Each structure stands twice: as C-alpha cells, then as structure tokens.
Structure 1
Amino acid sequence: MKKIFIPLIVLAVAGCKDAKNNSVAEAVTSADTVVVVEQIEETEEADAYSSATSKPNEVLFNGTLVVPPEYQATVTMVMGGTVKSSKLLSGMAVKKGQLLVTLENPDFIDLQQNYLDSHAQLEYLEAEYNRQLALSKEQAASQKKLQQAKAEYLSMKSREQATAAQLQLLGVQPSVLLTGGIRPYLEVLSPIDGYVGNVRINAGKHIAAGEALCDVINKDRTMLRLVAYEKDLSNIHNGDTVEFTVNGIGAQVFRATLVSVGQQVDEASRSLEIYARVDAQEELFRPGMYVTARILHQEKK
C-alpha cells in the first residue's frame, strides 16, 4: 500500500506550482521517512515470527528398503540344462516347493540310472557278504573270500550314497526313483515362499551349472538400510524408534525399530550402514525403494 501511495504524491507535486514545490517536497520526504520506518518494523516482525516458529535442525537419514538374507533366494542349479518349459513372470507369487522351471539334460538321466544300478548291485553284494560271514563263522569259507565280499559291498554302498546325495542336491528323493522310475526332466522348485524377480530364462535357453535362473523374495520382513555418518554415532542406539517416508507412497509416515548399527566406517565417505526392522508391513513396499528417515531418541532414565 505504501509503494502505491508515494507515486500519487509525486504526481500531485508535478501538477502544483513552483511556489509550492518546497512544501510538497517536504511532505514527500516526510512520507518516505514514514514508509521506510514502517517497512523496517514489518521486516523485524516477520523475522521475529520466523524465529519463534522454526524448529532445530533434524538429522535425516537416507536409505532403501531391503529384506533379510534368509527371506530372499537366488535360484541356481548344481547341474545345468536346457529350459524345457517355464511360466515365470516377474512379480508372480509362488509357494515353497512350487515348480518354477523344467530342464532337459541327458546327464540327469544317467545319474538316476547309476543310482538304480548301484542300489540293485548293493542288494546282491550285501547278501553275498552276509553269506560269506556266516560261512566264516562255521569255518566253511576262507577269510580271503570274506574280505573280498566285504570290500565290494562297502565300495558299492559308498557309491550308492554318493549318487543319492547328488540327486538330493537336485531336489530328487532317491526313494521316489525306486517306486516311480527314472524322470525325464529336471524340475526346479521354489526354495521359499515369496515373489519372483529377475527372471533370466526362456524356453530353449541353456542354463549352465551355477547360473541364476531367477530370484524369490519374501516381503514379510522388510527392513530399512540407512546410511549414517560417524559424527552421528553418539545419537544412534539399538532400540531407537525410526520414522520414515517412502518414495512413491506420498507423505504417509511409517515406523521402524533400530536393530543393528554397523561397526566399520567407510574410509572414503566416513559413513556406515544401520538397519531397522519395520513395525508394520505395507503391501506397497518393494525392496530397493528409497526412504527418508529420522531417529526418535529414547530419553535416558
């Protein structure tokens, strides 16, 4: 209002006679003085208001949502093969033991055959060893034949056990082969409940031994992984409450509890990682989402 008032006075001065210029100029000068004083007073009032309503600077921590190692799995196989079929899509929910991928590999068929052969020979060698043992007690057989029968039996037993262990690594129970026979395809099952991610396969693709097929992530135990700096360590303690917001979920505030503080500071950034367990899980949470958090320090008793 004052900036509009001054030009009006100046226009009035321009229209007046020379005789009145001095008096009007004095009026303008006086008005200018009043304006300046009032503006300074208003600025001081604004500064005082800002100072009264401002809050002390809070330390904010940036980080991401993560899941603990035991709630995520990378699906790999100790034996490779060619993908026969798969209906996997990223984001698909799966249960532990659910079929994920079917692979073809002639070596898998040979392994099953070796187990069945070993099992059959083991039955015969075990019977022969027991027979020689009985004859030896009656002194009707030589110790040499008994020792030979025992060596052959134990050798075949270890071979059967080794083959059975390889089948179990592939998710095949040897006892099932004895009743159901040889399986033509190698079935890859989900190791945990969760959601499929990072699908790296398609029909006809050859998968080498140890190569990742996909990931399975269980979001039931989502956590925060935050970056802290050494200067803030004195104010960070296990058990502290953490409030955080998540990119993409608006201004909603979530809570977590601090459970782990890193014990090694990075030499370059002078930072370390801290972890907090989320109190209430949210369906929209996704591992890797950015978060901004602040720590509510507990009062010492």
Structure 2
Amino acid sequence: MKMKYKLLPVICLILLACQSNEKATDNKALSTVKEEVVAETEEVADQDETAEKMVSPENVSLNGTIIVSPQNHASVTIMMGGTLRSISFLPGEYVNKGSVIAKLENPEFINLQQNYLESAAQLEFLETEYNRQKTLSEQEAASKKRFQESKADYLSMKSKKAAAAAQLRILGISPENIEKSGIIQSLLITAPISGYITGTKANLGKYINSGEAICEIVNKSQTMLCLTAYEKDLEYLSAGSPVTFRANSLGNIMFDATVISIGQEIDPVSRSLNVYAKVNNSNTGFRPGMYVTAQIKKK
C-alpha cells in the first residue's frame, strides 16, 4: 500500500505534463491555422481591391483585344508569280527590315532584265545618232525628215527603257545594279518591316501567284487596344481619355493606355462601336488577339 501512495504523485505529474504538451501542440496548430487564414484574407482583399478598381460607377467598362496598327502589320506579297526555291524564316521568328526571307524563280523575271539591258544598249546608240542628226540638221547638211525619225526612235527607246526600269524597281531590283553585275537568276523577297513572322503560307517548291501573301510580319513594339463600347457610353468617351486594362492571360497586372480614336459607325444590331487606345507601357508578353478587360474613367 505504501508503494501505491508513493507512485501516485509521479503518475499525476506525468498526466499534467502530457496535458501541457497536448495544449502546446494545439496552440501551435491553432497559430498555424490563424496564419493561413490571415494570408488567404489578405489575398482575397488584394483581389477585391483590383476588382474595385476595374468596376466602379465612375468608370466605363469595356472588353476588347490587343492589336497592332496597320503600319506595324505587313503582308509579304510578290508582284510577280514564281516558284519558291528557298525560305529563310520560321514561324514566330523575328526578322529585320530588308533581310532576305525567300527566293523566287520565274523565267519572266529573267526576260524582264534582258529587255532592260537591251533597251539600255539600243538607247545609247540611238542617242548618239539623234545628236548627230540634230547637229547635221542645224547645219542644214541633212534632211529634216531624217532628223525627226532619229528623234522619234530615240524617245521611243528611252520610254521603253524607263518602263523596264520601273518594273524592276517594283520588284525591288535596282536597274543600275543589273547594268553593272548582269542578270540575276532569282528574285529576292525581303521583309518590308521588322517584326515576328506569322501566318506562314509557303513551302519549298510551291508556286506563288502574283499578289499572294507568303507570310505576315507583326511588329509588337507599339501595341494598341481595340475595345468595344456601347452607344449609351459615348458621352463618357473622348480622345485622350486614360485607360486602365489588364490582359486576361497575364493575371492581375495593370497596364495603362490612352484613347486615340473612336469609331464613327455604330453596329445596328449590337449598338456598339470600336474604341482604339495606344498602350503606354507595352509588354513583351503582349500578343495580337489577346483578350483584355479595360476601364475608362468617365469624363
């Protein structure tokens, strides 16, 4: 019996220690839960704050897409049909203005150069003959008829050479270089602007018709917004109005833009029109066609 009484205080102390440890563990777990709840609350608060900025009675809400101006979107077309013999680009690749992106072959291209060179050679002879006849005519040593014929031949060939030169320039070929270096076998197709290759419609050996696009080039250095506004909001919109927007694929990051023009024709069905804004702080993540949500502060 004495042994039992001696063990009783020890057992009580052990029980008290276990209760203390359990309480400490519970307090620690409770503290962790509180921290998680606070973090979630702050995150929700941030989202609510962003939503409040995007939706306000003082703002006009608009949806739309990211675009580039017509000056920054080029279709690479050719003025003469032909077969593609080489391609120097990949879809999505960045190219610089003036860089060769493809080579085209067509016998007519060679004939055009030949016509120019022949015209240039004949013009040189006819010009010499014209000047000789002019001198003789002034000295009355030759007939007026012969002089007039010589003049007509010279002016006709001069016009023919000018026409052939103009055709070469349209194709991006320097007539002067043809005279120096001779006939070029392939027509070089160059990038009209700097930007990213999109809309590729070419492959080796394909025949490309005159006016057909080989690819598109998009320059994203100056992006714009094409927003849809409704007739009821027209009174609140004007050129110069500040725009706040976010691209849906880039999260809650906010960007700024400025209204530069407002469409003049209202769609008869939706009663809407387009509003165009210039992006003030462009982002490398922007891509034409991205969906955006925007706000314009009421004027």
The TM tier, using the shorter chain, reads 0.7 to 0.9
Q: How far off is 1:193 after superposition?
A: 1.0
Match runs of 1:149-164 below 5 Å: 149-164=150-165
1:155-214 deviation line (CA, Å, top 9, x unaligned): 111110111011001110000001110000011011111111111101000001111101
Q: What does residue 128 of structure 1 align with?
A: 129
Q: What does residue 92 of structure 1 align with?
A: 93
Q: How far off is 1:67 after superposition?
A: 0.7
Q: d(CA) in 1 for partners of 2:202 and 2:286?
A: 26
Q: How many residues align?
A: 245
Q: d(CA) in 2 for partners of 1:280 and 1:250?
A: 16
Aligned-partner SS, 2:249: coil
Match runs of 1:256-271 below 5 Å: 256-271=257-272
Q: What does residue 48 of structure 2 align with?
A: none
Q: What does residue 237 of structure 2 align with?
A: 236
- Asked if the contact 1:103/1:187 (under 8 Å) is kept, the reply is yes
1:78-102 deviation line (CA, Å, top 9, x unaligned): 1010000003211111111100110
- Asked if the contact 1:77/1:210 (under 8 Å) is kept, the reply is yes
Q: Taking every aligned residue pair, what percent have the same amino acid on both sides?
A: 50
AA paired with 2:134?
L
Match runs of 1:149-228 below 5 Å: 149-228=150-229
1:249-282 deviation line (CA, Å, top 9, x unaligned): 1110100001101111111111100100000110
Q: How far off is 1:128 after superposition?
A: 0.5
- Asked if the contact 2:62/2:228 (under 8 Å) is kept, the reply is yes
Name structure 1 gaps, 5 residues minimum.
1-53
- Asked if the contact 2:60/2:297 (under 8 Å) is kept, the reply is no
Match runs of 1:38-53 below 5 Å: none
TM-score by length of 2: 0.80
AA paired with 1:206?
Y
Q: d(CA) in 2 for partners of 1:209 and 1:236?
A: 43
Residue 87 of structure 2 corresponds to residue 64 of structure 1: no
Name structure 2 gaps, 5 residues minimum.
1-51
Q: How far off is 1:59 after superposition?
A: 3.4
Q: Cα gap change, 1:293/1:56 in structure 2, threshold over 3 Å: closer, same or farther? A: closer
- Asked if the contact 1:98/1:190 (under 8 Å) is kept, the reply is yes
Q: How far off is 1:297 after superposition?
A: 3.2
- Asked if the contact 2:88/2:100 (under 8 Å) is kept, the reply is no
List structure 1 segments (4+ residues) > 6 angstroms apart after TM superposition: none
Q: What does residue 108 of structure 1 align with?
A: 109
- Asked if the contact 1:241/1:297 (under 8 Å) is kept, the reply is no
Q: Cα gap change, 1:285/1:56 in structure 2, threshold over 3 Å: closer, same or farther? A: closer
Q: What does residue 78 of structure 1 align with?
A: 79
Aligned-partner SS, 1:131: helix
Residue 148 of structure 2 corresponds to residue 147 of structure 1: yes
Q: d(CA) in 1 for partners of 2:218 and 2:56?
A: 40
AA paired with 1:287?
P
Q: How far off is 1:247 after superposition?
A: 2.1
AA paired with 1:211?
E
Q: d(CA) in 2 for partners of 1:232 and 1:148?
A: 73
Aligned-partner SS, 1:248: helix
Residue 250 of structure 2 corresponds to residue 249 of structure 1: yes
Give me the CA root mean square deviation. 1.2
Q: d(CA) in 2 for partners of 1:169 and 1:88?
A: 23
